[in-house]
């Protein structure tokens, strides 16, 4: 039985639930043989066709659909995550958060005094649509900039048919928000297990942790 301590965990953020879920499904191909991975999703609750990976016997998946995990659904997320970890005893957990979520608040929740001993937070990943970014003039809005600044790996989709100049433009827009993040064009190159285990650039858990009075 796997001990419920220091379980590698990755947060997957970004715009568009379908694209995010497809990316998480692709990440499952990275599982070492014999490992169990668990997935927690925070979706809009809109009825959609279930992703294929929900049907895999060796993947435990739970969806927190009623509210955003950074605010109204924090308690539901904590309960669902604890139940998932106890049932699955996973070797890794992938946590997909909605595009509306405040990523910093999610990371604080996952790094609090109760979950810090259980989860070993590894790279935070963001899925970005190159075609959307191609229309951005100089930089993303402040909220997106804040989200990107917390990411270690940016998975860029839709750049395969773009010109080199257009790709360079997209990368410049993203680099303005996350200059130290690794960028992977998933149309042309795979995300590797090493990306999931990428260092959080020296970020201490203490920058996410708050005490019960709301102070860091």
Closest CA to 94 of 198, 12, 157: 12
**What is the Cα–Cα distance from 125 to 105, expressed in whole angstroms?**
15
Mean pLDDT rounded to a whole number for the chain: 78
Residue 6 sits at φ, ψ, to 5 deg, of 50, 45
Instruction: Please state the domain extents for the chain.
Output: 7-202
pLDDT tens for 193-209 read: 999 998 654 444 334 43
What's the half-sphere exposure (Cβ side, CA atoms, 13 Å) at 29? 8
Count of other CB atoms within 10 angstroms of residue 147: 24
Task: Please report where in the chains the tokens 């827009």 appear, as a residue.
Answer: 173
pLDDT tens across 119-164, in order? 999 999 999 999 888 877 677 777 788 888 999 999 999 998 889 9
Global pTM value = 0.83
May I ask the CATH architecture of the domain 7-202?
3-Layer(aba) Sandwich (3.40)
Which residues does 29 contact at the CB level (< 8 Å), separation at least 6?
none
Q: Could you tell me which residues come within 8 angstroms of residue 55 by beta carbon, excluding any fewer than 6 positions away?
A: none
Question: pLDDT tens-digit profile of 55-88?
Answer: 565 666 666 655 555 555 567 778 888 888 988 8
Length of the chain as a residue count: 216
């Amino acid at each position: 039985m796997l001990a419920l301590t220091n379980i590698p965990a990755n947060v997957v953020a970004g715009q568009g639930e379908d694209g995010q879920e497809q990316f998480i499904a692709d990440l499952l191909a990275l599982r070492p043989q014999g490992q169990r991975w668990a997935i927690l999703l925070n979706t809009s609750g809109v009825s959609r066709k279930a992703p294929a990976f929900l049907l895999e016997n060796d993947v435990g998946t739970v969806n927190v659909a009623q509210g955003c995990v950074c605010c109204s659904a924090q308690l539901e997320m904590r309960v669902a995550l604890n139940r998932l970890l106890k049932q699955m005893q996973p070797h890794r957990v992938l946590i997909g958060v909605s595009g509306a979520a405040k990523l910093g608040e999610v990371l604080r929740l996952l790094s609090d005094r109760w979950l810090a001993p259980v989860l070993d937070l590894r790279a935070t990943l963001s899925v970005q649509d190159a075609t959307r970014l191609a229309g951005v003039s100089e930089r993303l809005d402040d909220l997106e900039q804040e989200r990107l600044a917390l990411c270690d790996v940016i998975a860029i989709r839709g750049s395969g048919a773009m010109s080199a100049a257009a790709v360079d433009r997209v990368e410049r827009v993203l680099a303005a928000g996350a200059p130290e993040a690794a960028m992977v064009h998933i149309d042309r190159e795979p995300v590797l297990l090493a990306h999931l285990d990428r260092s959080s650039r020296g970020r201490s858990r203490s920058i996410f942790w708050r005490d019960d009075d709301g102070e860091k």
